Structure 1
Amino acid sequence: MNALGRHILAEIYGCDNKILDDCKLIEEIMVKAAIEAGAEVCEVAFHKFSPQGVSGVVVISESHLTIHTWPELNYAAVDVFTCGSNVNPWDACSYLTKLLKAKNMTATEVKRGVFEQPVKVLSS
C-alpha cells in the first residue's frame, strides 16, 4: 500500500502558557520544527488572538504545519502533513513538544492519498 503523505494530528498538553501566547516565538518554533523534520519552508502566516492564543501555518514544499494554542489550558493542537519520503513529520512533533515545554503529547498518524498500486509522480 502506497500513500502520498503522512498527516500527524498532535495533542500537546501541559505546555508553558507564556510560550503559547507569544506569536513571534510560536512562529519561530514552528519554522524550526519544519526545518528539523527536513522540510523546505515556503511561507508563514501567524495570528495573535485577543485576549490570548495563537494560530498559524508554515507552508512547506512537502505540505504544511499548523498550530492553534490555548494558553489558558496549556494546550496546543498541531497538524503536521508531509508528502514524500524525505521529511519525517514525527521529528517536527517531537521538536515542538520539547520547545513548548510540554508534559505530554499524544498523536495519531493518518496516511493521506492511499493507493493500492504504486503512484507515479510526474516531475516538471
Structure 2
Amino acid sequence: MKILARQLAIDMYNCNPEKLSNASLLSDSLKNVLHKNGLTPSQTEVKSFDLNHFVIFIPLDEGHLTIHVYPALKYAAIDLFVCKENNSPEKTVRALRKIIKPEETKMTYLCRGDFGTVSDMKPHIKVKIAPLRRIQNTGVKVIHLLPGRNLVKKLRRKK
C-alpha cells in the first residue's frame, strides 16, 4: 500500500553548544543540507522566544522542517515531514546529525496517509492494572516464603 508522506520526529540530546547558539547560521546550514538532499526549501522563518528557546521553520516544496532549539539544555527537537516519492528522509537526518553533532539521537518514524485496513487505523492501547485481591494474595505468599513463617503462625495464635 502506498503512503502519502513520511514524518520523522527526532530528539537530539547533548548537542554541540556552538552549533545551537546562532539561529541564523543554523538556519543557513539546514537549508544547505535540505538542498543537497534533493529537497527545495522556501522562505525560512526564525522565531526566538527567549535566550533558552528558538524555532526554525523551513517550508519545503515537498513538506516542511521544524526545529525547536534549546541551547542551554543542548537539545534540539526536529520534525521532518516529506511527501516526495523516492526520497529518503533518513539521509537528511544523517546530514542534520553532522551539523548539530548530538551525542544521542532518538527518532520516531511515521507513515502518514497509510490507507490500509480499518484495523490499522484504530489506535491500539493496552493498559494493565493489577486487581487489589491479587496484591493481597501476593502478600500472603511472601509471608509463606519467609524462613520464620512458623514464628508468624505462633504469634498469630497467641493473639
Normalised TM-score (structure 1): 0.85
Q: CA RMSD in A?
A: 1.7
The letter for the 1-side match of 2:47 is H
1:109 matches 2:109? yes
Paired residues of 1:30 and 1:65 also in contact (CA < 8 A): no
| 1:93 alignment partner in structure 2 | 93
Question: Deviation per CA, 1:67-108, whole angstroms, max 9, x where unpaired?
Answer: 001111111000110002243211221111111121121101
Give 1:66-81 correspondences, 5 Å limit.
66-81=66-81
1:10 matches 2:10? yes
Give 1:46-85 correspondences, 5 Å limit.
46-85=46-85
**Larger fraction in strand:** 1
The letter for the 1-side match of 2:11 is E
- In structure 1, distance between residues paired with 2:34 and 2:115: 26
Q: Which has the higher contact order (CA 8 A, sep 6+)?
A: 1
Aligned partner of residue 2 in structure 1, secondary structure: coil
The letter for the 2-side match of 1:13 is Y
- The total of aligned residue pairs comes to 117
- In structure 1, distance between residues paired with 2:11 and 2:36: 19
Normalised TM-score (structure 2): 0.68
Paired residues of 1:6 and 1:81 also in contact (CA < 8 A): yes
The letter for the 1-side match of 2:49 is F
**Residue 58 of structure 1: CA displacement?**
0.9
Paired residues of 1:34 and 1:65 also in contact (CA < 8 A): no
The letter for the 2-side match of 1:53 is H
Q: Runs of at least 4 residues of structure 1 off by over 6 A?
A: none
The letter for the 2-side match of 1:114 is D
Name stretches of at least 5 consecutive residues in structure 1 with no aligned partner. 118-124
The letter for the 1-side match of 2:73 is L
**Larger fraction in helix:** 2
Bigger Rg over Cα: 2
Question: Deviation per CA, 1:10-56, whole angstroms, max 9, x where unpaired?
Answer: 01111112321211112112212312331111221112332233201
